[in-house]
Copies of this chain bind each other. A is one copy, B any other.
Amino acid sequence: MRTEKGADEVSYSVGQVAGFGGVTVRTLHHYDAIGLLAPSERSHAGHRRYSDADLDRLQRILFYRELGFPLDEVAALLDDPDADPRAHLRRQHELLTARIEKLQKMAEAVEHAMEARRMGINLTPEERFEVFGDKDPDQYAEEAEARWGGTEAYAESQRRAARYTKDDWKRMQAEVDAWGERYAALVTAGEPATGEAAMDLAEEHRRHITTWFYDCPYEMHVSLAGMYVSDERFKAFYDSMGPGLAEHLRDAITANAARHTS
């Protein structure tokens, strides 16, 4: 039977702690100097000795730092009297999921931009910066319209100037056109979107994107398909090939993805 001897005295030197945390010794010196992380003890020779609790604190410091908090705010968070450790872990988890969501939105915006480029649609300035969610949408929208309005005309004027890529652009365009004709014929022939022919053309569409532009797995393809009907210009792009083509294609893409991932 073990004796209940109380706290075991373990402590680490700056070098060890720096190793654990993946930071430099200088950083730890700095955190000590500004009072953010003062080692709970000093050795005989004046060397810093970090306790286990200090390590915990460092972990939190580095976590919040990684998420972009300035050090004084980090200190405020850590020295919060309601410093329940559970609360910290909970908050860390919340911050992480929030960041993940933000990045996923950015990724979607990038996909949107890639597709716009693929279709020769130029984006308005607002759309270009839509990637960064950090805008007051309300105040911003007002300002954008009121102060330097006329974006409609601008977008219209830019819509033609999009073919500034070189010569293989033509071959690519030819491929798109050929595919469009075949797909339009399929639609007018009354083929269902879940039919094999439609799914095959959907797959060809995906392959086209992958070979000419960027890798497009099925999941992403479905996401794009959603934009084809939700974004007015994407919809217009496909509907110009044939009436109702955008929706039809979306369903075909969805069905094609389902058949490949099942």
Chain A residues in the interface with B (C-beta under 8 A): 2, 4, 7-8, 10, 12, 16, 19-22, 52, 55-56, 59, 62-63, 66, 85-86, 89-90, 92-93, 96-97, 99-100, 103-104, 106-107, 110-111, 113-114, 117, 125-126, 128-129, 131-132, 134-135, 140, 143-144, 147-148, 154, 157-158, 160-161, 213-215
A92 touches B110 (CB 8 A): yes
- The count of identical subunits is 2
| A129 surroundings in chain B (CB, below 8 A) | 20-22, 59, 62
A107 touches B113 (CB 8 A): no
B214 touches A63 (CB 8 A): no
A142 to chain B, nearest CB (A): 11
A116 to chain B, nearest CB (A): 10
Knowing A93-B214, A117-B85, A154-B10 touch, does A19 contact B144 (C-beta < 8 A)?
yes
* Bound complex: CA A89 to CA B107 (Å): 10
A124 to chain B, nearest CB (A): 10
A57 to chain B, nearest CB (A): 11
A132 touches B62 (CB 8 A): yes
A125 touches B20 (CB 8 A): yes
| A96 surroundings in chain B (CB, below 8 A) | 103, 106-107, 110
A131 touches B63 (CB 8 A): yes
* Bound complex: CA A213 to CA B96 (Å): 17
* Bound complex: CA A93 to CA B113 (Å): 11
Which 8 residue pairs spanning A and B have beta carbons closest together? A96-B107, A8-B157, A90-B214, A89-B114, A93-B110, A59-B128, A100-B103, A20-B125
| A62 surroundings in chain B (CB, below 8 A) | 129, 132
Interface centre among A2, A103, A117 (most CB of B within 10 A): A103
* Bound complex: CA A66 to CA B144 (Å): 23
A151 to chain B, nearest CB (A): 10
* Bound complex: CA A21 to CA B135 (Å): 9
| A20 surroundings in chain B (CB, below 8 A) | 125-126, 128-129
